[in-house]
């Protein structure tokens, strides 16, 4: 049985911030953390893993600082990361050999 809970204050800050990322752009876990005053990329990732507002809060637009794809829905490989890749490709964001092709797609505040 799945139980639903209200997002924490921290999670709400993360979800509000990712709503600002424009379609066709990505940001990094670290940049997102800086935006909301959090120095833990892992905490950002954990909040994104529990995102109940996707796709309105587009967690697929957050990638690793080395400009590789990163995880999705709590998975680092497999069908969920493929789904993240396809969502980004549908927005014109391309990866080659697991790395972002066009650095101008990185959105920073």
Please check the confidence at residue 3 and state whether its pLDDT lies above 60: no
Structural domain includes residue 65: yes
31 closest CA partner among 8, 55, 74, 21: 21
Distance CA 37, CA 52 (A): 22
What is the reported pLDDT for 108?
82
Structural domain includes residue 37: yes
Q: What is the mean pLDDT of residues 92-102?
A: 96
User: How do residues 41-89 score in pLDDT, each as one tens digit?
Assistant: 999 999 999 999 999 999 999 999 999 999 998 899 999 999 999 999 9
Domain ranges, residue 76? 9-100
User: How many domains does the chain contain in total?
Assistant: 1
Structural domain includes residue 21: yes
What is the reported pLDDT for 109?
73
Residues with active-site annotation: 59
What CATH number is associated with residue 17?
1.10.10.10
Structural domain includes residue 77: yes
DSSP state, residue 77: S
CB–CB of 69/84 below 8 Å?
A: yes
Q: Is 72 helix (H, G, I), strand (E, B) or coil?
A: strand
Structural domain includes residue 109: no
């Amino acid at each position: 049985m799945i139980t639903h809970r209200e997002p924490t204050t921290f999670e709400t800050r993360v979800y509000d911030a990712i709503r600002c990322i424009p379609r066709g752009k990505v940001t990094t876990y670290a940049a997102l953390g800086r935006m909301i005053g959090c120095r833990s990329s892992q905490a950002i990732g954990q909040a994104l893993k529990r995102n109940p507002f996707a796709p309105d809060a587009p967690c697929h637009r957050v990638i690793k600082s080395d400009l590789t794809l990163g995880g999705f829905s709590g998975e680092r490989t497999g069908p969920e990361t493929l789904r993240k890749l396809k969502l980004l490709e549908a927005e014109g964001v391309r990866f080659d050999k697991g790395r972002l092709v066009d650095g101008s797609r990185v959105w920073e505040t």
